[in-house]
Amino acid sequence: MNYQYQTKRWLEIAEANKPVLNHKKIFPEKLVIINPSKTAFHGWSLIAESNAHSLFQRKLSTGDAFTLDFGEHLVGYLHFSLNLIGDAMGGPLRLKFIFGEIPAEVAEPFDSYAGTLSRAWLQDEIVTVETLPFSMVLSRRFAFQYLKVEVLAASFDYRFVFSEIYVDAVSSAPSDIDSYSLKKVSPGLKALDIVGLRTLRNGMQTVFEDGPKRDRRLWLADSPLQALTNYYSYKNYDLVKRCIYLFAALICDDGRLPACVYERPSPHKGPEFILDFSILYASTLLDYGIHSYDWESVKELWPVALKQFHFIWDHLDKRNLFKDIGKWWIFIDWHSELDKQGPMQGLILYCFHRAVALAVKIDRQDDVSHFQMASKKMTESARDSLQKSSGELFVSGEKKQISWASQIWMILGDVVSPEEGKIILKKLLNQPNAIKPATPYIYHYAVEAMLKCNLKEQALELIKYYWGGMISHGASTFWEIYDPENPDFSPYDDFLINSYCHSWSCTPSYFIRKYFADPD
Amino acid sequence: MNYQYQTKRWLEIAEANKPVLNHKKIFPEKLVIINPSKTAFHGWSLIAESNAHSLFQRKLSTGDAFTLDFGEHLVGYLHFSLNLIGDAMGGPLRLKFIFGEIPAEVAEPFDSYAGTLSRAWLQDEIVTVETLPFSMVLSRRFAFQYLKVEVLAASFDYRFVFSEIYVDAVSSAPSDIDSYSLKKVSPGLKALDIVGLRTLRNGMQTVFEDGPKRDRRLWLADSPLQALTNYYSYKNYDLVKRCIYLFAALICDDGRLPACVYERPSPHKGPEFILDFSILYASTLLDYGIHSYDWESVKELWPVALKQFHFIWDHLDKRNLFKDIGKWWIFIDWHSELDKQGPMQGLILYCFHRAVALAVKIDRQDDVSHFQMASKKMTESARDSLQKSSGELFVSGEKKQISWASQIWMILGDVVSPEEGKIILKKLLNQPNAIKPATPYIYHYAVEAMLKCNLKEQALELIKYYWGGMISHGASTFWEIYDPENPDFSPYDDFLINSYCHSWSCTPSYFIRKYFADPD
């Protein structure tokens, strides 16, 4: 282990900054009915049936079921109490609780799930009740807006009622997002802002969780987007500090940063290493320093950020073009056909420039002096080899693939000027065959690129079209995956396992606050 | 409420005699494989696979499963611990635990269960594990010998192992039944005795439970058979006292004794009233007094016992024959075709005589002076109307049904002398068309009747054939239901819901100790 890596100390700092969670008791709003619908999102439409309070009048028995809508996406623990209607309980009661972030999760059976991720992420629990009255807190933490309860079995000689049901909602963000929401914006922007704030709140636990339903862990390139939105809203700098220190504390022996880390039972790293994620760490530190003014921490972690670039050099070919040597996972986006060459070329340049900016801030310019030459060569080769001529769309790979990701990262990597970027982006918008983003992660950078090129109107249109599209499908938090043209898309082969409250999707609140709203 | 019924005081006495349970840590014996087999009981045969300890070497993942045999039927709480094999847990783990009293319960799916009792009695639990290592005690108490564990889901990036698994077995009887078992008997009787003792032990909790898997409550005519066996083995008189006081404390306003009572959340009665059960209460008190010498308690509860006969009189027709007026449940046995007239005629007489014997013991003969005339009339009418001539089999009902139950209760009710009873029973054994007993409850009284008629050899043969038959099918505790000619019989339409450790089945230990064994 490099002497510079004071991992023990860093872990102590991370743990010292572990937040205490805020709790709020949330009651269900409505009883709802979910019906199949050919036109509705995922094929299920929601109809309000009655006020949730009427549940307490329902005398339940075998075969009965109901669905509650808690009014918004929540993360927390379900509390409930049951009472006996009858003389005695001739046999026990078997209840199934199914929690859904979206209506489809409580409407479709989990038995036929055939996705590539563990079915155990799907949120259902079976409880056997031997004595009534009965009160319970389900031990598992759930992320959901909808709760379906099925009475799997009871005996004929009694009925029972729910006498209480609520969620103990938890977050390290303030639970009252309304007081944080923007007041002086249009209703459309206000809605986007609230959903973004809620997405951020529900992912803010003892780390920035990737998704509070699925992937309940800290990811290296996802959490910085939460941090960014947090800087413009809840301003919980300690949580960011905890996260950047956790990664540094769990650095691999060879200096690579793990792509994700786990908190329990004690902090440990996941086995994944993602090349593009690792070099973004410098950019994360720069943002943290700018917003928190905690440059001491940034200085302390600088060697870690710098080390990540070490793994880049053998990915450059003779022409200084990025080449996937098959050694590490390269992410960029979940689109299965996306060629990574062009996007990586731009992303590396972006990370060089951010690292240099950071080095200037903390007076470590010498550490990055070699970045400038590399940047110059990579920029030239990008223009020479991946672009026909100025103002043309960048291509990627042997098949000269045209993608949004390539244009976005070339612009953010300063391969072209904002003016040329504007021309490119306008062309891109009229290029239906270009590989589109598959996730909010890359859409985020698309908006960043547009804003950089002074396409403010188009950026807002994109936010409204993309994140607003989720809201129009009923979202109360923004999703991990959303392809407006293929709403059932899942990189895991089953949309039920997609996360519907996801870290990298919360940035509309950041964009609106930074670019589109007057200060309140 | 009758001033004689000091229900509050009686409940206090019942609660004061609530036993503290004994605990014993029991580890599994073997890993086993359960295979379909056309010749095996319920169609499933068991093969030992390896020592249970080899489980700890198995690295498990999605789709894996194993079955443990704990060596004997147990009642208690499952403890287990799991360890991670791998760097990190990319997704949670979903485990299913299926507990079986018999192999079929862990081999057959519960999904197709269509019995008439609550499916919630079937013993399976699903657990979601979010972090490894993990330790847990399943909160539900289980009654089982076999435990199947299925790994419903994990993620591809890890394996896990069981590092510990055991049962915290509970009973108000001593956990070490070996030290109570008979030493000076043949291996066959020793086996019957041990299985009987275990059946009794596993049902002895804070009351005499009917079945520790299903019907976890105290029944009025079942528990006396446990008490009887207890008098000859563990001699826990306080538990019997608790049970007889519980019934008395929960007497109905009109003086009827509930057929069953529940302990939790606080003692309360079930809605059932069973006519034959209620009049047996006097007999239960008599046995308790004889064995415990606690005649004070018996005296105190005598008015309750006496009151039960009050509900008999309107069930006698002009000829002094029993007539089911359809007012109350009459049990006798689970056989669906059994006519109850003959059996009830004998059973009422049996209860009269036992009540009179009890009245003599506590010097309350005046209370039962009218029983003698009634007994005389009922005995005469039984002989006149239900028997062709002396030594012939008794018939029951309009269809003149011949059943074991009629002969048994006529003999126990002293309608015939032991000498005539002997002739009747010998005829019965050669009468294949007679309605046979369906449960150990009525087989118990068959053995009693044989012993009363000095058919000691036949009684032992019957014990060996009937209870020994369960052992030959692999039983380590005796069952609620067993029809040697129709092993799949269930009064609840699914043999999975039958109880395989059941109160009324433990009496071989009583018979052997009282009639067939030299004192140790």
Residues in chain B closer than 8 A to A271 (CB atoms): 87-88, 157
Residues in chain B closer than 8 A to A152 (CB atoms): 119-120
Average pLDDT score over chain A: 97
Strand pairing report for A93-100 and A124-129: antiparallel
Q: How close A153 comes to chain B (CA, Å)?
A: 6
Q: What's the pLDDT at B519? A: 64
Q: What angle do CA B302, B17, B275 make, to 5 degrees?
A: 40
| A3-48 pLDDT per residue, tens | 579 999 999 999 999 999 999 999 999 999 999 999 999 999 999 9
Name which of A118, A256, A264 to mutate to probe chain B: the one with the most chain B Cβ atoms within 10 A of its Cβ: A118
Secondary structure letter of residue B327 according to DSSP: S
- Residues 37-96 on A with a CB inside 8 Å of B are 62, 86-94
Which alpha helices (DSSP H) does A473-519 contain, by range? 508-511
A195 and A485 in contact (C-beta within 8 Å)?
no
Cβ partners under 8 Å of residue A428, min gap 6: A393, A404, A407, A434
Residue stretches of chain B with pLDDT short of 70: 1-3, 519-520
Taking residues A306-332, report their average pLDDT. 97
Q: What angle do CA B108, B113, B115 make, to 5 degrees?
A: 130
Single-letter code of the amino acid located at A366:
D
Considering CB atoms only, which of B94, B140, B155 is closest to A117?
B155
Q: How close B211 comes to chain A (CA, Å)?
A: 12
B29 and B52 in contact (C-beta within 8 Å)?
yes
- The residue among B155, B56, B147 whose CA lies nearest residue B103 is B147
Q: How close B1 comes to chain A (CA, Å)?
A: 19
Q: How close A70 comes to chain B (CA, Å)?
A: 23
Q: Is the dihedral of CA A27, A29, A34, A38 positive or negative?
A: negative
Residues in chain A closer than 8 A to B152 (CB atoms): 119-120
Query: How many whole angstroms separate alpha carbon B137 and alpha carbon B154?
Result: 20
Q: How close A427 comes to chain B (CA, Å)?
A: 41
Please tell me whether residue B68 adopts helix, strand or coil conformation.
strand
φ, ψ of residue B167 to 5 degrees: the values are -115, 130
Name which of A78, A128, A136 to mutate to probe chain B: the one with the most chain B Cβ atoms within 10 A of its Cβ: A128
The helix/strand count (H/E) of chain A reads as 15, 12
Place of tokens 């010097």: B363
- Tell me the fold of A178-516: Glycosyltransferase (1.50.10)
Q: How many residues does chain A have?
A: 520
SS3 per residue for B215-251 = CCCEECCCHHHHHHHHHCCCCCHHHHHHHHHHHHHCC
Strand segments, DSSP code E, in A268-380 are 268-269
Considering CB atoms only, which of B87, B131, B265 is closest to A131?
B265
Q: What's the pLDDT at B4? A: 75
Residues in chain B closer than 8 A to A91 (CB atoms): 117-118, 120-121, 214
Q: What's the pLDDT at A520? A: 57
Q: What's the pLDDT at A500? A: 98
Cβ partners under 8 Å of residue B232, min gap 6: B509, B510, B513, B514
Place of tokens 């240099």: A356
A118/B262 Cβ within 8 A: no
Query: How many whole angstroms separate alpha carbon A444 and alpha carbon A332?
Result: 12
A90 and A184 in contact (C-beta within 8 Å)?
no
Residues in chain B closer than 8 A to A85 (CB atoms): none
A120/B154 Cβ within 8 A: yes
B308 and B256 in contact (C-beta within 8 Å)?
yes
Q: What's the pLDDT at B165? A: 98
Single-letter code of the amino acid located at A41:
F
C-alpha distances in Å from residue A387, one per residue of A383, A397, A413, B281: 5, 12, 14, 98
Q: How close B145 comes to chain A (CA, Å)?
A: 20
Q: How close A199 comes to chain B (CA, Å)?
A: 21
Asked if B292 has any chain A CB less than 8 Å from its own CB, the reply is no
Asked if A493 has any chain B CB less than 8 Å from its own CB, the reply is no
Does the N-terminal peptide bond of residue B265 adopt cis geometry, omega within 30 degrees of 0?
yes
Q: Which token pair is B28?
A: 């599994």
A270/B154 Cβ within 8 A: no
Q: What's the pLDDT at B3? A: 56
Query: How many whole angstroms separate alpha carbon B212 and alpha carbon B101?
Result: 10
Average pLDDT score over chain B: 97
Q: Which token pair is A432?
A: 């239906």
Query: How many whole angstroms separate alpha carbon A512 and alpha carbon A150?
Result: 42
Query: How many whole angstroms separate alpha carbon A32 and alpha carbon A67?
Result: 6
Asked if A398 has any chain B CB less than 8 Å from its own CB, the reply is no
- Residues 94-113 on A with a CB inside 8 Å of B are 94
φ, ψ of residue A31 to 5 degrees: the values are -85, 135
Q: How close A124 comes to chain B (CA, Å)?
A: 9
Query: For the packed helices B187-203 and B456-472, what is the interaxial angle rounded to 10 degrees?
Result: 70
| Domain ranges in chain B with CATH number 2.60.120.260 | 24-171
Considering CB atoms only, which of B91, B125, B157 is closest to A120?
B91
Query: How many whole angstroms separate alpha carbon B42 and alpha carbon A136?
Result: 37
Name which of B78, B128, B216, B497 to mutate to probe chain A: the one with the most chain A Cβ atoms within 10 A of its Cβ: B128
Please, which contacts does A254-259 make with residues 24 or more away whose CB atoms are closer than 8 Å? Answer: A255/A2, A255/A5, A255/A304, A255/A307, A255/A308, A255/A310, A256/A307, A256/A308, A256/A311, A257/A220, A257/A281, A257/A304, A257/A308, A258/A220, A259/A219, A259/A220, A259/A221, A259/A329
| A38-85 pLDDT per residue, tens | 999 999 999 999 999 999 999 999 999 999 999 999 999 999 999 999
A102 and A42 in contact (C-beta within 8 Å)?
yes
Place of tokens 């450059």: A316
Q: What's the pLDDT at B1? A: 44
B264/A118 Cβ within 8 A: no
B87/A271 Cβ within 8 A: yes
Considering CB atoms only, which of B92, B117, B271 is closest to A91?
B117
Pick the CATH number of B24-171 from 2.60.40.10, 3.30.465.10, 3.40.50.300, 2.60.120.260: 2.60.120.260
Residues in chain B closer than 8 A to A89 (CB atoms): 262
A342 and A397 in contact (C-beta within 8 Å)?
yes
Asked if A131 has any chain B CB less than 8 Å from its own CB, the reply is yes
Place of tokens 């930074």: A514
Q: Is the pLDDT of residue A106 over 60?
A: yes
Residues in chain A closer than 8 A to B119 (CB atoms): 94, 152-153
Q: How far apart are the first and last CA of chain B?
A: 49
Cβ partners under 8 Å of residue A252, min gap 6: A258, A269, A273
Place of tokens 């070329």: A345
Provide the Cα torsion B490, B492, B493, B497; round to 10°: -80
| Domain ranges in chain A with CATH number 2.60.120.260 | 23-171
Nearest residue of chain A to residue B86 (CA atoms): A271
| A185-222 pLDDT per residue, tens | 999 999 999 999 999 999 999 999 999 999 999 999 99
Q: How close A201 comes to chain B (CA, Å)?
A: 22
- Residues 366-395 on B with a CB inside 8 Å of A are none
Asked if B125 has any chain A CB less than 8 Å from its own CB, the reply is yes
| Domain ranges in chain A with CATH number 1.50.10.10 | 178-516
B153/A119 Cβ within 8 A: yes
B216/A119 Cβ within 8 A: no
B130/A264 Cβ within 8 A: yes
Asked if B512 has any chain A CB less than 8 Å from its own CB, the reply is no
Cβ partners under 8 Å of residue A398, min gap 6: none
B91/A117 Cβ within 8 A: yes
What is the DSSP annotation of A152-204? Answer: EE--TT-EEEEEEEEEEEEESS-S--GGGS-SSS-HHHHHHHHHHHHHHHHHB
CB pairs under 8 A between A and B: 102
Q: How close A81 comes to chain B (CA, Å)?
A: 14
Query: How many whole angstroms separate alpha carbon B466 and alpha carbon B444?
Result: 10
Q: What's the pLDDT at A519? A: 64
What is the pTM assigned to this prediction?
A: 0.96
B121/A87 Cβ within 8 A: no
A131/B126 Cβ within 8 A: no
Cβ partners under 8 Å of residue A393, min gap 6: A387, A402, A406, A407, A424, A427, A428, A431, A434
Query: How many whole angstroms separate alpha carbon B121 and alpha carbon A92?
Result: 6
Q: What's the pLDDT at A417? A: 98
Q: How close A283 comes to chain B (CA, Å)?
A: 27
| A329-379 pLDDT per residue, tens | 999 999 999 999 999 999 999 999 999 999 999 999 999 999 999 999 999
Query: How many whole angstroms separate alpha carbon B347 and alpha carbon B2?
Result: 27
C-alpha distances in Å from residue B483, one per residue of A412, B98, B210, B379: 81, 26, 19, 31
Burial readout B35-70 (b: 16 or more C-beta within 10 A, e: otherwise): eeeeebbbbbbbeebeebeebeeeebbbeeebbbbb
Cβ partners under 8 Å of residue B247, min gap 6: B218, B220, B257, B258, B261, B281, B304
Single-letter code of the amino acid located at B197:
L
Asked if B154 has any chain A CB less than 8 Å from its own CB, the reply is yes
Considering CB atoms only, which of A126, A132, A271 is closest to B88?
A271
CATH, range A23-171: 2.60.120.260
Please tell me whether residue B98 adopts helix, strand or coil conformation.
strand
Considering CB atoms only, which of B87, B125, B265 is closest to A133?
B265
Name which of B118, B134, B496 to mutate to probe chain A: the one with the most chain A Cβ atoms within 10 A of its Cβ: B118
A262/B117 Cβ within 8 A: no
Confidence band for A104, pLDDT divided at 50, 70 and 90: very high
B89/A262 Cβ within 8 A: yes
CA atoms within 13 A on the CB side of B249: 21
